[in-house]
Structure 1
Amino acid sequence: MTPDTLHAGEPGFAGDDHVVPFQVEGLDIRGRAVTLGPLTDAILSRHQYPGPVARLLSETIALTVLLGTSLKFEGKLTVQTQSDGPVNFLVADFAAPDGVRAYARYDDEALEQAVKAGKAEPHELLGKGILAFTIDQGPNTHRYQGIVQLDGETLEEAAAAYFRQSEQIPTRVRLASAELFDRDENGKLRHTYRAGGLVVQFLPEAPDRMRHRDLHGGDGDDGSHSFEEDDTWAEAQMLASTAEAEELTDPNLGVERLLFRLFHERGVRVYDAQPVHDRCSCSEDRIRGVISGFSADEIVSTIEDGEIRVTCEFCSTQYRFAPSEFIVPTEPN
């Protein structure tokens, strides 16, 4: 067992904002786990999201980080929801090898009503819609997109359904978010956001053991399908489900200790942790290039107080440009 005296960065304790791959050979599973601290807090604090929105977006960030760090190429993974709930749009990008950004859109009035009605659970805030996973490997390649329906499911359930229908891999996903209240070195009260997650996948050597229930067949499907789940996978899911939200977000527990708690009887092996960083891909040159593609009328319509202002939705950085950079004055007749 990892001693409690270890600190982040020492062997056996990756600490916040590091994804830890792991394997449990006795259960034929592989996975990844993470606790997010400064990264999540930095992204959420920029926008001053209401608590329910911040918690939902932090879970989306954790899911994106867990999946994005498994990419074996230089590219980008985008996890995005579009739905009819109070939180109608969530998006998180992971740019390999370690860059993360995210933001949310929500309806203030609908959110307030949902909270007053006691309907502020993540799946209630999302409502009905879609959860999309998009992989972009860069120029001269085709983008891949997988879509699953949101119809009262949590992000955990929807992500598991994505792997089930798109990757044909039995998968268990655990996500959690938390608000931490403590005091800084000067005794001043501070408030930060945290997130954590765990992805477990069943990958036995014999593919026929990866059987799982058929997806619902739609109208007229009575759900009566014969099914016999692999005992080993059933055990793995049961063990993963025992991870409490407090454990997934605890800054002092550490991912390695949590994995030991869950799987030590079967023998868990962890690999080198991969750091992730709050990093937006916007830049002045990139924004300038976008504006240059506008028509003259479109450019004129964006001018305000004699300048063009563009604010990045992800990182809230504001860029200012002179209209003369894009509009060529016409010569008088």
Structure 2
Amino acid sequence: MNELLVFICDGAPVRGEIVSIGSAWQAILERRNDPPAVRRILGDFVGAATLLSASLKFDGTLIIQAQSKGPIQLLVVECKSDLSMRATIKLSTEPSAISDDATLGELLDAGNTGRLVITLDAADREPGQPPHQGIVALQDEVNGITRPVANAAEAIALYMQRSEQLDTRIWLASNDHSVGGLLLQKLPNSGGHAHLEPQVAAEGWNRVQTLGQTITNEELLTLQPETILRRLFLEESTEYGVRSFPSRQIRFACTCSRNKVADVLRMLGESEVQSILEERGTVETICDFCLKPYRFDPVDCLQVFKTDSLSDATRPPSGSH
């Protein structure tokens, strides 16, 4: 299962999505060896990124980045508008020091330092033009008391409310085999829902939320999106006009390349690269997302700094990438 299903309710101002990720999630896990609590958090954010990417109205990439001074130093999930995605995590402590039941607050919000950044990067963005970016702290205030968010679903809902002003409910689940998620979003009472009376619209949103709350982790992790949709909204299909669109496929794909590594070498500068060559003989790096190795010998590095375009900066690799 690697599917995302989008549905709308004609009789209520609600748009929804259901995601089920199997082999694409396995492709991420087979490249990592994280503690269970870390895998759980990463899986939830993979599900969240996929759900949010389905609403992109441009060709580009949605990036979820969480960073803190806690055990999880950095978490990055990238999902393109075609639903190809990749993910990575960097820890600031030994994996053995992280308990299996560690919470998101403990791992990502130590000392109230956690930050969630969501970036929308259009493929046709003009050079020098920054991508759209929203930042939210991984804390919420309830009755005047600040507390860390409980999980990834709460963090994303908080971001959507504060940054996008959209009421959003998300349910996420992940294990070592699959990732599942359900998103419900209240649409503005305009456009296709302009005919709804405010009270009717509010009642419809509340009713759909109530049905969403009945979803279980087991259902999210084991059932096809179409089956989940039928179970949740079968009785409401007539009243609220629930209809779905053709499902979309999700896949793991890394965007690393030899040319991009050459670009990094340019940013380091020729003197810095030369010092690495003198110390080690070659410049070697491994992609954080797919673990693909890249090796640049002295001739490769010379070409990097002698040419003006990245396409000419590297010769085909010999032996390694």
Asked if Structure 1 and Structure 2 have the same fold, meaning a TM-score greater than 0.5 normalized by the shorter chain, the answer is yes
Residue 262 of structure 1: aligned partner? 232
Counterpart residue identity of residue 166, structure 1? S
Residue 182 of structure 2: aligned partner? 198
Q: CA deviation at 1:210?
A: 12
Matches within 5 A, 1:193-272: 193-203=177-187, 205-206=189-190, 230-250=202-222, 253-267=223-237, 268-272=242-246
2:91 equivalent to 1:106: yes
2:321 equivalent to 1:321: no
**CA–CA separation in structure 2 for the residues paired with 1:302 and 1:210:** 68
**CA–CA separation in structure 2 for the residues paired with 1:301 and 1:77:** 36
**CA–CA separation in structure 2 for the residues paired with 1:319 and 1:235:** 53
Counterpart residue identity of residue 178, structure 2? R
Give 5+ residue unaligned stretches, structure 1.
Answer: 1-15, 180-192, 212-228, 329-333
Counterpart residue identity of residue 255, structure 2? S
Q: CA deviation at 1:280?
A: 0.7
**Shift in CA distance, 292/84, structure 1 to aligned 2, threshold 3 Å:** closer
Higher helix share: 2
Task: Classify the secondary structure of the residue corresponding to 1:269.
Answer: strand
Residue 144 of structure 1: aligned partner? 132
Residue 270 of structure 2: aligned partner? 296
| Aligned-pair identity (%) | 34
**CA–CA separation in structure 2 for the residues paired with 1:70 and 1:302:** 44
Q: What is the TM-score with the length of structure 1 in the denominator?
A: 0.77
Alignment equivalent of 2:104, drawn from 83, 103, 122: 122
On the 8 A contact 1:24/1:263 being kept in 2, the answer is: no
Residue 275 of structure 1: aligned partner? 249
Q: What is the TM-score with the length of structure 2 in the denominator?
A: 0.80
**CA–CA separation in structure 2 for the residues paired with 1:309 and 1:49:** 24
Residue 183 of structure 1: aligned partner? none
Task: Classify the secondary structure of the residue corresponding to 1:196.
Answer: strand
**Shift in CA distance, 287/67, structure 1 to aligned 2, threshold 3 Å:** same
Residue 159 of structure 1: aligned partner? 156
On the 8 A contact 1:169/1:210 being kept in 2, the answer is: no
Task: Classify the secondary structure of the residue corresponding to 1:76.
Answer: strand
Q: CA deviation at 1:296?
A: 2.3
Residue 312 of structure 2: aligned partner? none
Query: Alignment RMSD, CA only?
Result: 2.4
Counterpart residue identity of residue 248, structure 1? L
Q: CA deviation at 1:113?
A: 4.5
Give 5+ residue unaligned stretches, structure 2.
Answer: 140-147, 304-321
Q: Deviations over 1:184-239 (max 9, x none)?
A: xxxxxxxxx3111111111253599999xxxxxxxxxxxxxxxxx93322222221
Alignment equivalent of 2:284, drawn from 309, 312, 321: 309
**Shift in CA distance, 272/309, structure 1 to aligned 2, threshold 3 Å:** same
On the 8 A contact 2:37/2:101 being kept in 1, the answer is: no
**Shift in CA distance, 90/210, structure 1 to aligned 2, threshold 3 Å:** farther
Q: CA deviation at 1:327?
A: 3.8
Q: CA deviation at 1:43?
A: 0.7
**Shift in CA distance, 293/210, structure 1 to aligned 2, threshold 3 Å:** farther
Task: Classify the secondary structure of the residue corresponding to 2:8.
Answer: strand
On the 8 A contact 1:35/1:197 being kept in 2, the answer is: yes
**CA–CA separation in structure 2 for the residues paired with 1:300 and 1:80:** 32
Matches within 5 A, 1:8-19: 16-19=1-4
Q: CA deviation at 1:145?
A: 0.7
Counterpart residue identity of residue 175, structure 1? L
Counterpart residue identity of residue 252, structure 2? D
Residue 22 of structure 1: aligned partner? 7
Q: How many residues align?
A: 278
